[in-house]
Amino acid sequence: MYRLLIVDDEEIITDSLYEVFARLLPDKLDVCKAYSGKEALSWMSRSRIDIVLTDISMPGMNGLELTENILAYWPRCKVIFLTGHSEFDYAYKAIQMPDVKYLLKTEGYDKVTRTVMDAIEDIRRGDQANELAQQSREQKLALELMAQKDYFRHLLQDSSELCIELETLSKEFEALAVGLDPAAPVAMVVGRQFYPDSAAYIERNEIARSFDGIWHSHLSEQSRYVGIVDKYGDHIWFVQPAPAAEEKSGGRFIRFLEGTLELVQEAGLAALELKVAFSLSGASCEWKDITAQYERLRQLLQLKLSEEIPVIITDRADQPEPSEAREALPISRKTEIMAAHLEADRKEKFEECLGEVAASVLQDRDNANLATETYYMIALVLYSFINRNGLHKEIDSCGKLLRLDNHSSMKEAFGYLSRIADCLFNRKRMDDRERTSGVIDQICRYIHDHLGEDLSLVRLAELNYFNPTYLSRLFKQERGINLSEYIERCRIKKAMELLRDGDLKVREVAVSVGYEAAHSFTRFFKKETGMTPQEYRENVPSVG
C-alpha cells in the first residue's frame, strides 16, 4: 500500500482532494492530509510517506522548503506541486528540484489523479530495477558475507565480554571488511519469516535470498548493515545510518527504519508471498549490549506476535542493561531445537524431533538415567511454555509433567509429552485466530469511542503494532468492507444521532465526528444522506 500526503493551507482544497483520493484506490492508497508545512512534517516523523501533493505558497513554511525536509526524511518520496501560482519564479524553482512534478490547480482533478497514478507507477518500476541490480551485487559479496555472518554470530553469544575492547573490535571489523563502525551505537532488527506451506527446503532458500535482495534495495542507500540467521531460524540485522545520511537523520533513524521495514514487508508479500514480522530497537545501543538487546527483541516478538501476522514492534522501553554472565543450562541440542519449534509454532518439526529423541531413548533400555534426564528436559520446555502463557487451567493434567513416577512406563511418559505438546500447539493456533478477531473488535470499539480524533490508518496501526497495509487488508478480510468505509459509516451514524436527538450546533456535531471544517462535514453528510445536516435535523423527528 502506498501513502499519499495532501498539503494545502486552504481547507476546502485539502478536504476536496482528500475525498477524491480516499475513494480512488482504498485497497492500495492510504491518504493523509495536512493544512500546513509544520503539520506535514509531523506526518513525516510518524510514518513513511511515498507521495506528497503540496501547494507551493503557504504561510510559515512554503512547499519548496517543505520538499527539502521531505527528502531528508524519505529520499524515495515523490513530490507533486499543486498551486494556483503560475509565476515563472515559482515554476522555475520547482522544476530545478530532482524528481518533482508541477501542476496548476486550474488543470482539474483528472489531471491531478493521472499525475498521482503516474507517480505510483514510477515507484513500482523503481522497486523492480533495484531488485535486478541487487541480484548482481549479491553474487560478488557472497563469500565475504559468509565470514562476516559467522563472526557476528560469535559476537551475539556474549557481547558483554567480546566487545569490551574497542581496539580489538576495530581490528576485527577491518580484517573482515565489516562496513559498520565499532565506535558508534548500532540499531538491531529481529525478523521472523513465515514461508508458504508448500515451499520445500530449496525453495525456502531461494525465497530467503530474494528477500535479502528486497532488504538491500530498500536499506542500502540510507543505512549500512550486517544480517545473520540465529539458531532459531530468525533473521538478525545490525544497522547504522550511512555516513551520507547520518547528518540528515537528526535522530530520526529509528523512524526511518520503521517506515522502510513496512515497505520491505509489502515487497516480500507481493513478490514472494512471504510474510515477515519485525521487532526493532527503540534506540541504538552499544556493541557490548547487543546480546541483551537481541534477547529483549526476541521476547517482544514472542509476546506480541500472533500467527503469521507481519507486525512491526518497536522497543520503546529504555535499552536493557547488559546481562550478567550465566551458566549454560545442561540441555541437549535436540531439546533446544524443540524449544525453538514450539515458540515458532512449527508443530510438524517439533513432533518429528520429539519422535527421534523418544525412539533413541526407548531403544537404549539399559540407560535409565539418560531416559529420566531426557524426559525432564523436554517436560521443562513444555512446562515453561505453559507457565509463560498462563495455560495451566487450559491444559488438562499438565501437573504430571514434572512427575515421571506418575507414568506407568517410559513409553507412556513420552506419549504423554507428545499429547501435551499437541494440546499446546492447538491452543496456540486457536488463540491466534481469536486474537486476530479480538484485535479487529478492539479497533472497532476504539473507532466508536474516538470519532472526533485522528482515525487515520497510520494511527490505528500504531496503536496495535500493525503494518498499516496489513491492517487494512486484515480488516477487510474480517469485516467485508474497507476500514475507511467502516469509519465513514460510524461517523454518519453518530452524526445522525446527534442531529436528531441533541441540541448541538451543526459545527459542534461536525467536530464530534472528526470534521474540523463545517463545509467538509456538510458535503460529506449530503453525499451520504441526500440532505444537508440542517435539512436532516428539520425533517427527521427525534426519537422519544
Neighbours of 35 (CB within 10 A): 19
Per-residue pLDDT band at 210 (split at 50, 70, 90): very high
d(CA 318, CA 283): 8
> Region 447-472: what's the mean pLDDT?
86
- Is the four-CA dihedral 66, 67, 72, 76 of positive or negative sign? positive
Per-residue pLDDT tens for 331-375? Answer: 467 888 888 888 877 888 899 889 988 888 877 755 667 788 888
Q: Which cell numbers hold the place of 141?
A: 559479496
- Is the four-CA dihedral 37, 75, 319, 470 of positive or negative sign? positive
Per-residue pLDDT band at 322 (split at 50, 70, 90): very low
Quick check: 324 pLDDT over 50? no
Tell me the residue length of the chain.
Answer: 544
* 3-class state of residue 32 by DSSP: strand
Give the pLDDT score at 320. Answer: 43
Is residue 145 a contact partner of residue 153, using CB atoms and an 8 Å limit?
Answer: no
Rounded (10°) angle between helices 253-272 and 201-219: 140
Quick check: 245 pLDDT over 70? no
Give the pLDDT score at 93. Answer: 62
- Top pLDDT among 518 and 171 is at 171
Per-residue pLDDT band at 450 (split at 50, 70, 90): very high
d(CA 54, CA 405): 74
- Top pLDDT among 488 and 502 is at 488
Give the pLDDT score at 219. Answer: 92
Give the pLDDT score at 167. Answer: 93
**93-97, 129-133, 434-438 — most confident range:** 434-438
Per-residue pLDDT band at 47 (split at 50, 70, 90): confident
DSSP 330-380: ---HHHHHHHHHHHTT-HHHHHHHHHHHHHHHHH-TT-HHHHHHHHHHHHH
Q: Please, which residues have CB within 8 angstroms of residue 384's CB and are 6 or more apart in sequence?
A: none
* pTM, 2 dp: 0.52
Neighbours of 347 (CB within 10 A): 17
Locate cell 550465566: which residue? Answer: 326
Is residue 113 a contact partner of residue 20, using CB atoms and an 8 Å limit?
Answer: yes
End-to-end alpha-carbon separation of the chain, Å? 46
> Region 54-79: what's the mean pLDDT?
85
Q: Please, which residues have CB within 8 angstroms of residue 315's CB and are 6 or more apart in sequence?
A: 279, 280, 281, 282, 293, 296, 297, 300
d(CA 192, CA 311): 10
Give the pLDDT score at 328. Answer: 32
Mean pLDDT of the chain: 83
129-156 burial code (b ≥16 CB/10 A, e <16): ebbeebeeeeeeeeeebeebbebbeebb
Rounded (10°) angle between helices 368-388 and 410-449: 10
272-288 burial code (b ≥16 CB/10 A, e <16): bebbbbbbbbbbbbbbb
Give the pLDDT score at 370. Answer: 78
> Region 205-223: what's the mean pLDDT?
90
Q: Which cell numbers hold the place of 452?
A: 472526533
Per-residue pLDDT band at 166 (split at 50, 70, 90): very high
Q: Which cell numbers hold the place of 236?
A: 538478525
Give the pLDDT score at 151. Answer: 92
Q: Please, which residues have CB within 8 angstroms of residue 302's CB and are 6 or more apart in sequence?
A: 343
Is residue 3 a contact partner of residue 32, using CB atoms and an 8 Å limit?
Answer: yes
Per-residue pLDDT band at 104 (split at 50, 70, 90): confident
Give the pLDDT score at 371. Answer: 81
Is residue 394 a contact partner of residue 388, using CB atoms and an 8 Å limit?
Answer: no
Per-residue pLDDT tens for 289-321? Answer: 999 999 888 877 765 655 567 888 888 764 444
d(CA 215, CA 135): 12
d(CA 536, CA 197): 54
Q: Which of 386-390, 497-501, 524-528 has the least mean pLDDT?
A: 386-390
> Region 531-544: what's the mean pLDDT?
79
- Top pLDDT among 389 and 96 is at 389
d(CA 103, CA 112): 8
Number of H helices, E strands in the chain: 21, 10
